[in-house]
Amino acid sequence: MFIAKTDKSILSIVLTCALLIAAIVFLSFPELTQGVSLWIDVMFFSFLNVGLIVALVIGIKTKNKSVMLFSIIINSALFVVGLFIIFVNIFVNVTI
């Protein structure tokens, strides 16, 4: 896939939005994962956090200051929320 240099700065924002939508969809339909182990949730949010780190690195490498600032703030906040969800799921898995 060819992305022009001017569109590379947008890639971080698009990736962040796509990961946020994936998390919202995953959390919106708990009945789909009702009989599945809670470790599936942990793995999903772990992969989601890896994607947020990738989006953060792409955003930091851009020369556009507003995209860089947006990437740092939003990706960091979503990363912390994802870590919180992972730790809650691990706590629930261990205590059950």
**Per residue in 45-89, pLDDT tens?**
899 999 999 999 999 998 889 989 999 999 999 999 999 988 988
Identify whether 91 is part of a domain.
yes
Please report whether residue 24 resides in a domain: no
Q: Work out the widest C-alpha separation in the chain, in whole angstroms.
A: 50
pLDDT tops 90 at residue 26: no
The letter for the amino acid at 47 is: F
| Helical H segments across 29-38, by residue range | none
Q: Tell me if 67 is assigned to some domain.
A: yes
Domain range holding 62? 45-96
pLDDT band at 17 (very low <50, low <70, confident <90, very high): very high
Count how many domains the chain has. Answer: 1
Q: Is residue 32 over pLDDT 90?
A: no
Residue 28 lies in a domain: no
Structure tokens at 14: 């698009």
- Is 64 part of a structural domain of the chain? yes
In a domain, 68, yes or no: yes
pTM for the model stands at 0.82
**What tokens appear for 91 in the block?**
């706590």
Domain assignment of residue 15, yes or no: no
Instruction: Give the closest residue to 15 by CA, choosing from 73, 46, 59, 45.
Output: 59
Residue 17 structure tokens: 């939005």
Compare 28 and 9 and report the one with higher pLDDT: 28
